[in-house]
């Protein structure tokens, strides 16, 4: 019997990498891929943002932010601040309950004077405040000084107090002249102005809303979106 030879370790030989093969993308290829991704995002994101649901969310959030600015200004100045919504605009009813601005009670020459302080903010097309589900200041409530006619203008047309809906904050940021019970709110929906009020266009009315609700004690707005 022949003598046993010692067992030697076996090693698998790796195949040599072919000349010219790469294991990574080139910089040019990466730039091309990134360019395609940016182009797709530029096309897709605006389309998503134009959907009624996205526009409703954006409009409601902007309205809540605008209300908080008015509230903070009233506390900072120690005066009265308000949001004014267009209620009646017979020459173009599509503007009703879609345009809002800010006004403040400022001291001019030692006397308090209502002053227009911001440009009109218009809600996106197809988005509107639903007056039937919103709570505004009672027009019969008197303020000192009273809110003047013809202070605000839109498209060259002067607006009277009866043409407006107001959300008013007092000097400490609380809502001024609201019902004793029930939180005040502004409801934004996907819809259009109609002779009977607002026609909802957003399908399920349970989800077709964005509520800006004002705390009864502090006036602070918070959002509620189903």
d(CA 68, CA 73): 8
Give the pLDDT of residue 47: 44
Model pLDDT for residues 170-197, shown as the tens digit of each residue: 999 998 866 555 568 899 999 999 888 8
Domain that holds residue 177: 52-224
Q: Which residue has the tokens 């003598």?
A: 3
For the chain, strand residue ranges (E) read: 81-86, 99-108, 111-116, 121-122, 127-129, 152-154, 157-159, 164-169, 184-194, 197-200, 210-214, 221-224
Classify residue 176: in a domain, yes or no: yes
User: What is residue 38's three-state secondary structure?
Assistant: helix
Percent of the chain residues topping a pLDDT of 70: 79
**Cis omega before residue 103 (within 30°)?**
no
Query: Is pLDDT above 90 for 141?
Result: no
Average pLDDT value over all residues in the chain? 83
30 occurs within a structural domain: no
Alpha carbon distance 68, 44 (integer Å): 32
Determine the pLDDT at residue 11.
52
Q: For 108-127, how does the pLDDT look when each residue is reduced to its tens digit (9 = 90+)?
A: 888 999 999 999 999 999 99
Is 105 inside a domain boundary?
yes
* pLDDT grade for 139, boundaries at 50, 70 and 90: confident
4 assigned to some structural domain: no
Exposed (0-12), middle (13-18) or buried (19+): which is 216, by Cβ within 10 Å? middle
Say what the pLDDT of residue 192 is.
92
Does residue 100 have a pLDDT over 80?
Answer: yes
Q: What is the CATH number of the domain that holds 169?
A: 3.55.40.10
Query: What band does 48 get if pLDDT is binned at 50, 70 and 90?
Result: very low
Model confidence pLDDT, tens digit, residues 74-87: 999 888 999 999 99
pLDDT digits (tens, 9 = 90+) for 2-41: 555 555 555 555 555 555 555 666 777 777 777 777 766 6
Model confidence at 164: pLDDT above 90: yes
Structural domain count, the chain = 1
pLDDT(226) > 90: no
Does residue 15 sit within a domain? no
Residue 22 falls inside a structural domain: no
Residue 60 has pLDDT above 60, yes or no: yes
What's residue 195's pLDDT?
86
Residue 5 placed within a domain: no
Residue 25 covered by a domain: no
Using DSSP's 3-state secondary structure scheme, residue 19 falls into coil
């Amino acid at each position: 019997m022949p003598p046993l030879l010692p067992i030697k370790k076996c090693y698998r030989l790796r195949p040599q990498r072919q000349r010219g093969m790469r294991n990574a993308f080139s910089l040019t290829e990466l730039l091309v891929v990134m360019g395609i991704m940016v182009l797709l995002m530029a096309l897709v994101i605006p389309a998503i943002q134009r959907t009624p649901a996205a526009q409703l969310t954006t409009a409601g959030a902007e309205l809540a932010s605008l209300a908080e600015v008015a509230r903070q200004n009233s506390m900072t100045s120690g005066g009265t601040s308000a949001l004014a919504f267009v209620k009646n605009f017979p020459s173009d009813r599509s503007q009703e309950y879609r345009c809002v601005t800010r006004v403040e009670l400022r001291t001019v020459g030692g006397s308090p004077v209502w002053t227009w302080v911001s440009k009109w903010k218009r809600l996106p097309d197809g988005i509107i405040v639903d007056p039937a589900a919103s709570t505004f200041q009672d027009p019969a409530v008197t303020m000192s000084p009273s809110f003047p006619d013809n202070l605000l203008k839109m498209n060259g047309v002067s607006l009277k107090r009866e043409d407006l809906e107001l959300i008013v904050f007092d000097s400490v940021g609380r809502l001024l002249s609201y019902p004793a019970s029930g939180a005040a709110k502004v409801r934004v929906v996907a819809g259009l102005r109609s002779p009977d009020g607002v026609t909802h266009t957003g399908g399920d009315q349970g989800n077709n809303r964005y509520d800006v609700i004002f705390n009864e004690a502090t006036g602070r707005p918070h959002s509620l979106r189903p």
